[in-house]
Chain A
Amino acid sequence: MTTTTDLTGWTGLQFFGRTTASVSHELKNALAIIKENAGLLNDYLLMAEKGTPLKPERLKIVADRIDQQTRRADTLIKHLNRFGHSIDEPLTTVDLNEIVSLLAALTQREVSMKQATLQLAMGESPMTVKTAPFWLLTFLGHCMTFSLKVLGPEKVLHLQAEKVEDGTRILFSPLSGLQGAGQEDFPGEAEMALLKSLDAACHIDPDAGTLLVNLTNR
């Protein structure tokens, strides 16, 4: 039988693997574009050697694409690096806005694969909370996957971090699909174990179409 600790560890490792695979896929896409643009420059040079004059406006387009894709790759690596460092401290004080924006960045591909759009609403900054950042990201990652499953037909997911009386909370809405089938599998055993270790609570309201994650002040 799997113990709660094992289940949490496995869930975290799985999320880590899924996230790095997704970000590295994006990175490969950026590298492919950079490589093809470098190849295109070579094509232009070969054509120039055969007498076709180089067109500065074409070179500018290639340079801009390389610049844009290098920035994209750099941003992806920054996010991956921040995610990697989220496991450094078992318990630390973080800005919840930063956690939520990192979650949005890490799950961007998952969101676009579902042809959805993510809208971020940040609360007052910094919104400090003492938590286990990696495990919080893992839990929120599961919330994201679930939310995308029960997203309404407009396919816009609103993600918000806000301060409440006894702590902070993260809101996923509008989840109009909560009215239908599928909500019974969330939070499952793995998510319950994560919630317990985070000392957090999760509330799903099918009528309001919301998923709320409450983090109490430690």
Chain B
Amino acid sequence: MAEKILLVDDETDFLEVMSERMSARGMEVTTAESALDALEQVEKGGFDAIVLDLMMPGMDGLETLKAIKRKRPELQVILLSGHATLEKGIEAMKLGAMDFVEKPADIDALTEKIHKARAEKMVLVEKQMETKLKNIINARGW
């Protein structure tokens, strides 16, 4: 099954070319040009991973990352940045980003990270299901 990716960047040309390249690699890509658009898409759900630009007008990538993690903690976020400083990278990882990639990114390396993100998300979802089931069993005394 195709990986469902949300690609977030304020550069329209970047979104167009990346989504075409990612689609050619078998991914199902949705794009968002702003943090607000991205959060609306996240609300709808169904993504395996989010590729998110760090520097965007309005709400920046780190703020968006926090908001995404609040809404859907299981979602795997890969941050993209034109100026990947170590500090920002550490901050992003602390906030729950799965990875931090510097622009221009290598599409094959990014694809690998997306595969990994999907696998990690599946593990997290399975754990969530397991916890839910345990709670139901405990609550009903089965």
Could you tell me which A residues sit within 8 Å of B by CB distance? 21, 24-26, 28-29, 31-33, 35-37, 39-40, 43, 47, 62, 65, 68-69, 112-115
Please, which residue of chain B has its CB at the minimum distance from the CB of A35?
B104
Complex Cα distance, B58 from A115, in Å, reads 6
Is B105 interfacial (CB-CB < 8 Å)?
yes
List A contacts of B13 (CB < 8 A): 33, 65, 68-69
Contact with A along B98-114 (1 / 0, CB 8 A): 00000111010000000
Contact between B104 and A24, CB atoms less than 8 A apart:
no
Per the CB 8 Å criterion, the residue count for chain B at the interface is 18
Could you tell me which B residues sit within 8 Å of A by CB distance? 11, 13-14, 16-18, 20-21, 24, 55, 57-58, 82-83, 103-105, 107
Checking B14, B55, B82 against A113 with a beta-carbon cut-off of 8 angstroms, the contacting residue is B55
Please, which residue of chain A has its CB at the minimum distance from the CB of B105?
A32
List A contacts of B82 (CB < 8 A): 24-26, 28-29, 32
Contact between A32 and B103, CB atoms less than 8 A apart:
yes
A-B pairs with CB below 8 Å: how many?
Answer: 56
List A contacts of B57 (CB < 8 A): 112-115
Contact between A29 and B24, CB atoms less than 8 A apart:
no
Please, which residue of chain A has its CB at the minimum distance from the CB of B82?
A28
User: A162 to nearest B CB, angstroms?
Assistant: 30
Checking A43, A65, A68 against B21 with a beta-carbon cut-off of 8 angstroms, the contacting residue is A43
List B contacts of A26 (CB < 8 A): 82
List B contacts of A112 (CB < 8 A): 57
List B contacts of A37 (CB < 8 A): 17
List B contacts of A65 (CB < 8 A): 13, 16-17
A sample of 6 inter-chain contacts (CB < 8 A) reads A31-B103, A33-B11, A33-B17, A36-B18, A68-B13, A112-B57
Complex Cα distance, B31 from A200, in Å, reads 48
User: B90 to nearest A CB, angstroms?
Assistant: 18
Contact between B55 and A31, CB atoms less than 8 A apart:
no
Please, which residue of chain A has its CB at the minimum distance from the CB of B16?
A65
List A contacts of B17 (CB < 8 A): 33, 36-37, 39-40, 62, 65
Contact between A43 and B55, CB atoms less than 8 A apart:
no
Complex Cα distance, B18 from A43, in Å, reads 12
Complex Cα distance, B13 from A14, in Å, reads 32
User: A75 to nearest B CB, angstroms?
Assistant: 15
Complex Cα distance, B111 from A43, in Å, reads 14
Please, which residue of chain B has its CB at the minimum distance from the CB of A62?
B17
List B contacts of A32 (CB < 8 A): 11, 14, 82, 103-105
Q: A28-B83, A114-B57 are in contact. Are A36 and B11 (CB under 8 A)?
A: no
Q: A113-B55, A115-B58 are in contact. Are A21 and B14 (CB under 8 A)?
A: no
List A contacts of B14 (CB < 8 A): 29, 32-33, 36
Please, which residue of chain B has its CB at the minimum distance from the CB of A28?
B82
List A contacts of B24 (CB < 8 A): 43, 47
Complex Cα distance, B13 from A90, in Å, reads 41
